[in-house]
Structure 1
Amino acid sequence: MDRKQCCVSLSVQPSRGQMDEKFIVLIQNAPPGFQLTVHAFHQCEDKFKWEAFGHYTADATGTVNVSEDLSLGGTYLGVEPMGLLWSLTPVPGSKPGLMIRKLNVQTPMEVTISVYQDHQTEGFVDLVSLASVLVERWHMAPGIRRIPITEDGLSATLFLPPGPGPFPGILDLLGSGGMLLEYRSALFACHGFASLALDYLTNKVSIETGNFVDNKYFESAYNVLQQHPQVLGSRIAMVGLSLGCAITFKMAVYSDVFKPPDFIIYTPGKLSFSSSIPPTLRAMLNTGKTRVNEENQIIFRDLLLPITTDTSFKADVGRLQCPLLLVVGEDDQNWPAYESAMDIKEMMEGAGNSHLLTVLSYPNTGHIIEPPFTPHTRASNFMFAASRHKSTCLWGGEKVAHSHAQEDAWRKMLLFLRKNLWAMPELHGYKVVMGPSGAPLGLTWVNQVQHISVMTRLSRRTCTDHLRALSALAVLRVIASSFPLLQWIETLDPRVYIHADDLTEISADLPHGVLSRPVYPSAEDLPESPRTCLSVLSYINKLP
């Protein structure tokens, strides 16, 4: 077909959105039966180029909806609404062993979505697209506050949601690569949590002394989070990935500062050690149990196999008194994650505290379980921060299964955090009413019978009074399933902020136009980020 006669249109909604929210890619005005390629291109912060693409055929109306239609070929197959992101791979000829991790969360991940004629597989840089759209994916939603923390020698960043708070807290620990990586903490803040990203390997203390930080470093970070005026000091979780998981267990079991029931832990990764972590790791590496595959990628999973029965080597998880969520990749080639999880389960069953344990185990899923739609990397170049040793590590996982696991685990992890961190028996004279999904639906006065579960039951006076009472907690959810992309919203009363995430009961009661999408700022607008306005109070005026 002559390109000059083709007026294909392309839209991506939202073109500016949160990193963990889905978008809809829609191609229209193509000839019926038209074969086309939808292509995504991303140049990451280290200037390496990534691409993904799917092959589609327009229907009788000349339309392709990537969220509903089959990809017949490309980097993903079948109906995969977000395949253009999670299947991103380095362009042909790239340096081997690359991985995408966002370094600067104050700028978006930019992805160019394009449509090409016919089913193309290579040479996209030399092709002329029929249409293109630039998409921005943000880790920081409008209104999120980023606060560097250096007190007590810490290398950390605190992310606070919009509004006055206080908010539940998260101490966020990543793995043995070091660096202050903030992308996960920024996303936690988008979901209503005050999250502290902590660098515990390449911080000032470690660099100056050459030693691994001691327990006091993590306790200082916990105290900073707990004592912040906008953090609910009695509701703090610790989240660990890989080596961060081992530290999470160690602090939860043995530290006098981390005290349940104020504390929950979510850990995708490793079994914990009861002794000092760096010497333990060095001793393990010297056992000769590491393997190298035919692609010269190192496999570490055999280091702890078989799982030892020596309880002096393991954290005594039978002492845990707080909820624990384990996320397990059954094809983890870096660590025996599944075997470790089963050992933890057995230990907790023997101690009688297994009711606190939830295990999410995913087949064909590797070691690095990231937030949704993060491109899967089966193996990558890696430098251990403690030793500065460089190697290519095999993480494991099959692309489709791993990507689906990331999406499912993130959703269930947020639910776990909300359920446990918001499930407070009493606070400021109110009780929080929890819905079946674990999200707060409203409140009950402690000494009164009145029960508020959906917004349409509120009069103007009670709505205003109760929203103000709850504004510090931001727990009343006012979002319907028809508005799944909305996150933080602001009422006409500037003192009241509402986090919109789970509530679906009021969808039929809110007139069209009451809810509006958040406006993601352009880079030059930061840090003066506009906030979305929700005219709820105006609507409440009309209620009986």
Structure 2
Amino acid sequence: MSQSVPPILSIHPSRALMDETFKVLVENLPPGSPVTIRSLHHSEDHDHWEAYGYYISDHTGKVSVSDDFSFGGTYTGKEPMGLLWSMRPVPGSRKGLRLRKTDVCSPMLINISVYSGHGGFREQAPLASALSERWYMAPGVRRVEIRERGVRGTLFIPPGPGPFPGLLDMWGGGGGLLEYRAALLASHGYVSLALQYFAPGELESAELEFHYFETAFNIIRDHPQVMPDRVGIFGLSLGSAVTMYLVTESAVIKPRCCVCVSSNICYPQGKTLAGYHEVMEQNFDKVRVDENNHQIWRDMALAIMNGLSKTVDVGKINCPVLLVNGSDDQNWPVMESAEVMAQMMRDAGKEHLLTRLMYPDAGHLIEPPFSPHFRATNFIVSSTKEKVILLWGGQTKPHSDAQEDSWRKILSFLQQHLCCSPSPKAKL
């Protein structure tokens, strides 16, 4: 492709929050030229992730990713954000990778380039490139490490004097401290505590008493910049089981509302997470593997759920609850769990408190929008400390659509139940 004026690639906005859309535009191409537009990210784990689409420039020599169709690549069709949600490890990468931001104080840097032709772009020099900064923390959001009353986590506080609504943010059975969702929630005006409740692969540190979660909730509620009567809980997977247990069994905390992603209403009798792992060990013989030797935990989870003594009595719930589930979840029987929960709440006259979102062909790991889809990733089993690859499920395009749609509805739900009045979304 030779011409006197070189192509120009631009990204608008070049700096944005992770849940904001951008526009990628290539200009000064010869009309009718086949080109490949590629995104490339070097992760904090030193792996390379990419996405790309095949385009043909219009009669003016332009390609707009927001408006034009991709004819192939990691995504097809008119997909404005396909360069993000269809990212995958580059060929030859390690197996079972998952892309997650650990340093939320720095942006995720995405290099977007345009190449001549369709295919073979990895051996070419780009015709033009531009850099996109994707942030979880909006300007002015404060990050505060919490080591208080035995609780471990990170508190994110929106800019301004407040007071703000609050959220306790809990991830799942992989353990560790994950901050990026809480940082993004703070960017939307919520004081959010990303809670660490055990370390990955360490069953001993999972022997946490029920009191630990009550204390974490109270740390948010008692913060001087938080409205004490407007604190909710946001849980995913195991975090949703803890959420359900807190909402039904605690006499101390009364959340204003709850969001449960990939919901789980099973929680063993007793008041420690160690019991949860014991129940899993007792049913581990029901774990299956697929043709790729990826572990499928769904049948094990079904066996656990069918033990009624280990099911939370959700009929005692007295606050609005939003369930977000994918029908292709291969890790947990979330659809069956949601049906059981709906019936129990119906029997208790509480069905009006339950809102259900179900997404066909979405998997277990429903994250903030434009996050890549991970059908199977590495996982450390707490009881044995064995490293396996878990099958989470989901198909890339419908799963990504579910992430985008559910995030909008989650924010709307939180605004409805936690906010006194509409607050503008933070901008970079």
Say whether the fold is shared (TM-score over 0.5): yes
Q: Which runs of 5+ in 1 are unaligned?
A: 424-431, 433-439, 441-474, 478-486, 489-517, 521-544
Distance 1:62 1:210, change over 3 A: closer
Provide the rounded CA distance (Å) in 2 between the counterparts of 1:351 and 1:208: 35
Task: Give yes or no for the alignment of 1:255 onto 2:225.
Answer: no
> 1:321 maps to what in 2?
318
Q: How high is the sequence identity, in percent, across the aligned residues?
A: 48
Separation in 1, partners of 2:257, 2:389: 33
Asked whether the equivalents of residues 174 and 244 of structure 1 are also in contact (C-alpha less than 8 Å), the reply is yes
- Count the aligned residue pairs: 424
Query: How far does residue 6 in structure 1 lie from its aligned partner after superposition?
Result: 5.2
- How far 1:310 moved relative to its partner? 5.2
The one-letter amino acid of 1:271's match is I
Distance in 2, matches of 1:16 and 1:238, equals: 29
Distance apart, 1:207 and its partner CA: 7.0
Among 208, 211, 216, the alignment partner of 2:211 is: 216
1:41, distance to aligned residue in structure 2 (A): 0.3
- The answer on whether the counterparts of 2:298 and 2:330 sit within 8 Å (CA) in structure 1 is yes
Contact 1:268 1:327 in 2 (8 A): yes
For 2:392, the equivalent position in structure 1 comes to: 395
Establish whether residue 61 from structure 1 lines up as the match of residue 60 from structure 2: yes
Q: Does the C-alpha gap of structure 1 residues 308 and 286 become closer, same or farther in structure 2, counting only changes over 3 Å?
A: closer
Q: What residue in structure 2 maps to residue 472 of structure 1?
A: none
Q: In the aligned structure 2, how far is the partner of 1:389 from the partner of 1:220?
A: 31
Moved over 6 A (4+): none
Q: Which residue of 1 aligns with 2:111?
A: 112
The answer as to whether partners of 1:366 and 1:397 remain within 8 angstroms in 2 is: yes
Give the corresponding residue for 1:340. 337
For the pair shown, the structure with the greater C-alpha radius of gyration is: 1
Counterpart mapping for 1:55-454 below 5 A: 55-120=54-119, 122=120, 124=122, 126-202=123-199, 210-259=205-254, 262-269=255-262, 270-276=264-270, 277-287=273-283, 288-305=285-302, 311-385=308-382, 387-423=384-420, 432=421, 440=422
Alpha-carbon separation, structure 2, partners of 1:410 and 1:186 = 14
* Matches of 1:367 and 1:299, distance apart in 2: 12
Partner of 1:532: none
Distance (whole Å) between structure 1 residues aligned to residue 406 and residue 207 of structure 2:
30
Question: What's the secondary structure of 2:286's corresponding residue?
Answer: coil
The alignment's C-alpha RMSD in Å is: 1.8
Q: Is the 8 A contact 2:268 2:276 kept in 1?
A: no
Give the 5 Å matches for 1:476-495.
477=424, 487-488=425-426
State the 1:63 CA deviation: 1.1
Q: Which residue of 2 aligns with 1:32?
A: 31
Taking the aligned partners of 1:153 and 1:179, their CA distance within structure 2 comes to: 16
Contact 1:285-1:303 within 8 A present in 2 as well: no
CA distance in 2, matches of 1:355, 1:32: 57
Counterpart-to-counterpart distance in 2, 1:280 and 1:16: 42
Query: Which one has more relative contact order, counting CA pairs under 8 Å at least 6 apart?
Result: 2
Distance 1:128 1:402 in 2: 33
Give the C-alpha shift of residue 312 in structure 1.
2.4
Range with bigger deviation, 299-308 or 236-245: 299-308
Separation of aligned partners in 2, 1:16 and 1:341: 38
Q: What is residue 482 of structure 1 aligned with on the other side? A: none
Deviation at 1:303, TM superposition (A): 1.6
Post-superposition shift, 1:359? Answer: 0.3
Is 2:304–2:310's contact at 8 Å kept on the other side of the alignment? no
How big is the shift at 1:208?
Answer: 11
In the superposition, relative to structure 1, how do residues 387 and 232 fare at CA in structure 2: closer, same or farther (>3 Å)? farther
Deviation at 1:113, TM superposition (A): 0.2
Q: How far does the alpha carbon of each residue in 1:176-218 deviate from its partner, in whole angstroms, 9 at most, with x for none?
A: 1111110000000010111000000129xx9796452111111
Gaps in structure 2 of 5+ consecutive residues: none
